[in-house]
Amino acid sequence: MLIAVAAIRMRDLFGVVILFGVYSLLTAVLFMDLDAVDVAFTEAAVGAGVTTVLLLSSLRLTRRWEAPPRHSPLLSLLVVGVTGAALVYATLDAPLLGDPSSPVHKHVAPRYLQEAAGEVGMPNIVTAVLASYRGYDTFGETLVIFTAGLAVLLLLGFGEETKPRIEPASMHEQVVLKTVVKLIIPLILLYALYVQFHGDFGAGGGFQAGVIFATGFILYEMVFGAENARGVMPAPLLPRLAALGVLLYGGVGIFSMLAGKPFLDYSALSADPVHGQHLGVLLVELGVGITVFSIVLSIFYALSGRKRRHD
């Protein structure tokens, strides 16, 4: 909370972005403390990793120092205070965190914990719930990410075609950085693939993997320049990849419907229903990973493609 207050009070937006990164990292540690490994992983990858980079690259399009506020904050403070007090009062009625006699832990959670091994057949119950039991919600999440990326692209576009802009001469002399990054990027991409396909057994899954995969490409663009990066992964390809991911996810659902089962019922994918669940989760997570990767990279392309604001 100290960090949040500090981030609000600071005027230096660069410092605010770094503070947000620290805040996300601390939240990830908090999630680890609550034994929520998948969530902590996603929070660390997205919040402390990619969001910091995206915010910094959008910061170069605007001023670094926040203008002083032109109106008094008292009215907003009052509204926020009243709303916050009402919310806190409402939480007094909620069951305590981890209380075993709360309704969540008596009906829904034990059923998932006991039946997941038999019905879905994978050790990671979080992935089982995310991709199979609550697959429809995850489909919605993927669509939200896709829509957000579309909105950014509609607003910003991909930027001018890549002539080398004001390429700082020092980047050519960065031998150390270029060598180490050349070694690290394949490992990053390999790790992203590992996280993607290992989500059944450990922490992982499509969201984290997509973000990490995009991070590899972002690192490449930052060190080797936009020209090289867009030669490797052309900008027009990305929206099509994003659509492909969503199509893959929806396609699995439609296939299940065509086979006579409800939408997104993976047991229709194979003769053995548990095998069908495995296959379904694999395809669906792949769709999520592809969409997340292409949207994150699109947003970065859109932000880095604009001319720097000359202050």
Partner 1 sequence: MNLLLEWTSAVFLLTGGFLCITGGVGLLRMPDFFSRVHAAGVTETLAAPLLLCGLMLRMEWSLEIVKVLMILVFILATNPTATQAMAKATLTGGQRPLVADPEAREGGPSSKS
Contact status: 35 vs partner 1 (CB under 8 A): no
Sequence-separated (6 or more) residues with CB below 8 Å from residue 181: 219, 220, 223, 224
271 binds partner 1 (CB under 8 A): no
CB of 209 to partner 1, least distance (A): 16
Q: Give the CA count within 13 Å in the CB-facing half-sphere of 220.
A: 22
27: helix, strand or coil = helix
CA-CA distance, 203 to 41, in Å (whole number)? 7
Of the candidates 176, 236, 310, 311, which one interacts with partner 1 according to CB under 8 A?
176
177 binds partner 1 (CB under 8 A): yes
Q: Which x/- pattern over 118-157 shows residues binding partner 1 (rule: CB under 8 A)?
A: ----------------------------------------
29 binds partner 1 (CB under 8 A): no
Token duo for residue 249 = 């996810």
Structure tokens at 43: 């929070």
CB 17, min distance to partner 1, A: 16
**Of 59-67, 104-112, 137-145, 179-187: span binding partner 1 (CB under 8 A):** 179-187
Residues 181-240 within binding reach of partner 1 (CB under 8 A)? 181, 183-184, 187
b/e per residue 89-106 (b: at least 16 CB within 10 A): eeeeeeeeeeeeeeeeee
Question: Which pair of structure tokens corresponds to residue 54?
Answer: 């995206």
Binding to partner 1 by residue 175, rule CB under 8 A?
A: yes
For position 170 contacting partner 1 by CB under 8 A, the verdict is yes
Q: Candidates 134-142, 168-176, 235-243, 259-267 — which segment interacts with partner 1 by CB under 8 A? A: 168-176
Stretch that binds partner 1, among 141-149, 174-182, 232-240, 264-272 (CB under 8 A): 174-182
Minimal distance, residue 183 CB to partner 1, in Å: 7
Contact present, 147 and 296 (Cβ < 8 Å): no
Q: Which two tokens stand for residue 178?
A: 């270029």
Confirm or reject binding of residue 96 to partner 1 (CB under 8 A): no
The yes or no reply on residue 2 touching partner 1 (CB under 8 A) is no
Query: Is 180 one of the binding residues for partner 1 (CB under 8 A)?
Result: yes
Structure tokens, 214:
């995009």
Q: Is 166 in the site for partner 1 (CB under 8 A)?
A: no
Hey, what long-range contacts does 18-21 have (CB within 8 A, 24 or more apart)? 18/52, 20/47, 20/51, 20/52, 20/55, 21/47, 21/48, 21/51, 21/52
Q: What is the binding site for partner 1 (CB under 8 A)?
A: 168, 170, 173-177, 180-181, 183-184, 187
